A and B are shown apart, each in its own frame.
Chain A
Amino acid sequence: MIPLSVAFLPLTDSAILVAAKMGGFAEDEGLDLTLVRDTSWATVRDRLVYGQVQAAHMLAPLAVAVTLGLSQQPARILAPFRLGANGNALTLAPDFAAALDPAPRNRVEDPVATAHDFASAIGLHRRKPVIGVVHRFSSHALMLRYWLATAGVDPDRDMTLRVLPPSLMVEALRAGEVDGFMAGEPWGSLAVAEGLGEIAALGVNLWRRGVEKVLAVRADWAEAHPETQDRLIRALDRAAVWCDDPANHAVLARMLAHPDHLGLAPERILPALEGRLILQRGTPAVEAPDFLILHRAGANAPSPEHGLWIYAQLVRWGMVPAGPEAQAAAAGLFRPDLYQRALGVGPAASPAFDFFDGRRFDPADVDGYIASFGVAEK
């Protein structure tokens, strides 16, 4: 058995890693998988970059940021596998959510209207709204910015984005330190169950196939251990197929509920897996079948186009200067060739960039895309 350590954060989208270990898929590939749970993304990143673990559950934009040297120690890391698509929700404190459409279902189903309602609510709130995001370099922060900007909100001027690890969001909401948060499940559902928040936007309704977490590895490790990496990808692929089958969701929720993983009741975890979320305590669940996609629809195939989109958004918000080298590096860390080598499959279809506002993203014209937004001054 080959020992292999993988760092992760307690989130429902760690499902494939947890299932790979607990469902025996890693063992079948000769891997003795150790899952190392952390609380913050900085710790996960450092464990990977400095070699304490061989692989990590990582926010795709953070993988780009590490590669571009934007997040502490620069390192060459690769993403040979995606751990799913989508899975995030915006949860707002009831007093702030009161300014939105009274029917929770309408809020999530009409993100254009909700963005405008949110924009008007900003001036009426007792303070500049503080919204928790899990990391500066997260799909959460990038999509929240994208979404609210369509309603004329300048996220750096009109609100405060406060960075907090996902597992601390519910307590921050309870303490009134934030007026809402954008995070992966189960943290939104937990806030709803405790009556502390209402889910007002679903990531899947902002971008139907959003890039989310990747399996990140160091390039030097990947080059030295191609065989082990192939085994890991095969184990994760089989685990992902298993996770995607609704017949396995109850067992998967129990695996994730284990104290070594999320340490929460399975009932809090199941909604995201089933795509049936309660948006407000005491109301019936709303169907969102693609809320979190763990395998189907090509959700595990890495794609350089995702790196280009993330790069464009980072440039747009003044987080990195535009440049051909940065653009190439952001795209290059996504490695469909390594995914195909391990699984013996052909190239996947290009990813879909189907955003709620209908704006097109053409990977062949990244500069034109950035220019269409303008670049924030920093």
Chain B
Amino acid sequence: MRIAIVDDSGLRASILKDGLVEAGYDDIEVVAPHGAFVARLERMAPDIVLMDLGDPSRDALEEMLAVSRALARPIAMFVDRSDEAMIGAAIDAGVSAYVVDGLRKERVKPILELAIRRFNAFSAIRAERDEARSALADRKIIDRAKAILMQGRGLSEPDAYALLRSTAMNQGRKLVEVAEALITAHAMLDPPQGGAR
């Protein structure tokens, strides 16, 4: 069974590849969707192509599937259209699969299930990372709002923070939203002078 993983993200590809190797698949190739990747896939003649549902190169790949004479057998996405639960899980996980027609369902299903689990694991890692990033960004915004209050109203840092906090609580909004609103209002009332930022 030859499996091609078309992926731009090194992390997602290696998470998926490791899982497949652990499960005993050894003929796996990761192809980045750039340049002549379609020609490379054509030479590899994989039995299954796994990729992100939102990958921008899917139109180019499908064009190849439509016109290629090198790939003798047509390829169809997913194993069996009767297996709706699995299709749903794959779409939700963002897995897109192209499977050589005629490949038996029992052989494809475990690979697809594994891909779904690994894609979900990758999404969880990414969500954690994004959360960490946005926490950092939030802190910066709150720091700027505090500085405006300290400068404009002569407050100490703890008092500036307390004022933001109580305003947020009274309005039922997130602290960062109140801070953003303050920064916007401040910029409108007191536009920064040229070069003075």
Q: Which residues of A contact B (CB under 8 A)?
A: 38-43, 46-47, 50-52, 70-73, 134-136, 162-165, 167-168, 177
Query: Out of B53, B59, B87, B96, which one reaches A135, CB within 8 Å?
Result: B59
Chain B residues with Cβ under 8 A from A70's Cβ?
Answer: 66
B153 lies within 8 A of chain A by Cβ: no
**How many Å lie between the Cα of A275 and that of B117 in the bound state?**
49
CB-CB under 8 A from B66, the residues of chain A are 70, 136
Closest B residue, CB atoms, query A52:
B91
**How near does chain B come to A241, taking the closest CB pair, in angstroms?**
33
Interfacial chain A residues near B62, Cβ < 8 Å: 42, 71-72, 136, 163
A42 interface neighbour in B58, B78, B81, B87, Cβ under 8 Å: B58
Known contacts: A43-B53, A72-B77, A73-B81. The answer to whether A50 contacts B87 by CB under 8 A is: yes
Q: Mark B60-72, 1 if CB is under 8 A from A, else 0.
A: 1011001000000
Please indicate the chain A residues that have their CB under 8 angstroms from the CB of B55 in the complex. 40, 43
Q: Is the CB of B87 within 8 A of A43?
A: no
Chain B residues with Cβ under 8 A from A165's Cβ? Answer: 56, 59
Main SS class of interface, A: loop
Give every chain A residue within 8 A of B88 (Cβ-Cβ): 50-51
How many interface residues does B have (CB within 8 Å)?
A: 21
A162 to B59, CA, bound (A): 10
Can you offer 5 A-B residue contacts whose CB atoms are under 8 A?
Answer: A40-B55, A70-B66, A135-B59, A163-B59, A168-B56
Query: Is B76 an interface residue, CB under 8 A from the partner?
Result: yes
Contacts of A163 in B (CB 8 A): 59-60, 62-63
Q: Which residues of chain A are near B57, meaning CB under 8 Å? A: 40
Closest residue on chain A to residue B94 by CB atoms: A43
Q: Whole-angstrom distance between the alpha carbons of A324 and B14 in the complex?
A: 49
On B, residues with C-beta under 8 Å from A are 35, 53-60, 62-63, 66, 76-78, 81, 87-88, 91-92, 96
Residue pair B81, A39 in contact (C-beta under 8 Å): no
Q: Assuming the A-B contacts A46-B96, A50-B91, A51-B88, are A40 and B78 also in contact, with contact meaning beta carbons closer than 8 angstroms in the complex?
A: no
Smallest CB separation, B103 vs chain A (Å): 16
Query: A50-B88, A73-B77, A136-B66 in contact; A40/B59 too (CB < 8 A)?
Result: yes
Q: Name the contact of A38 in the complex, choosing from B54, B60, B77 (C-beta under 8 A).
A: B54
- Ordered nearest first, which 6 A-B pairs have the shortest CB separation? A42-B58, A163-B63, A39-B56, A40-B59, A50-B91, A72-B77
In the complex, the answer to whether B59 meets A164 with C-beta atoms within 8 Å is yes
Tell me whether A39 and B54 are in contact in the complex, defined as CB-CB below 8 angstroms, given that A73-B81, A136-B66 are known contacts.
yes
Chain B's closest residue to A137 (CB) is: B66
Set of chain A residues within 8 Å of B96, measured between Cβ atoms: 42, 46
Cα(A187)–Cα(B60), bound, Å = 18
Q: What residue in chain B is nearest A133 (Cβ atoms)?
A: B63
| Residues B53 and A41 in contact, CB atoms below 8 Å apart | no
Pick the residue among B63, B76, B91 that contacts A46 (CB under 8 A).
B91
Q: Nearest Cβ distance between residue A279 and chain B, in whole angstroms?
A: 27
Write out the residue numbers on chain B whose beta carbons fall within 8 Å of the beta carbon of A72: 62, 76-77
Point out the residues of chain B lying under 8 angstroms from A51, CB to CB: 88, 91
Closest B residue, CB atoms, query A37: B54
Given A52-B91, A164-B59, list of 15 further CB < 8 A pairs?
Answer: A38-B54, A40-B59, A43-B53, A43-B58, A47-B53, A50-B88, A52-B92, A72-B76, A73-B81, A136-B62, A163-B59, A163-B60, A163-B62, A163-B63, A165-B56
Question: Are B60 and A164 closer than 8 Å at their CB atoms?
Answer: yes
Q: Tell me, in angstroms, the Cα distance from A72 to B58 when the chains sit together.
A: 12
Closest residue on chain A to residue B55 by CB atoms: A40
Chain B's closest residue to A43 (CB) is B54
Task: Determine how close the nearest CB of chain B comes to the CB of A74; give it in whole angstroms.
Answer: 9
CA distance A167 to B59 in the complex (A): 13
Distance in angstroms between the alpha carbons of A39 and B53 in the assembled complex:
10
Please give the distance in Å from B49's CB to the nearest CB on chain A. 12
Complex CA distance for A51 and B91, rounded to whole angstroms: 9
Q: Are A46 and B53 in contact (CB under 8 A)?
A: yes
State which of A39, A47, A167 has its C-beta within 8 Å of the C-beta of B91: A47
**A73-B81, A136-B66 given as contacts; is B76 within 8 A of A42 (CB)?**
no
Q: Which residues on A sit within 8 Å (CB–CB) of B91?
A: 46-47, 50-52
Please, how many angstroms separate the alpha-carbon atoms of A163 and B76 in the complex?
19
Q: Evaluate contact between B60 and A162: CB separation under 8 angstroms.
A: yes
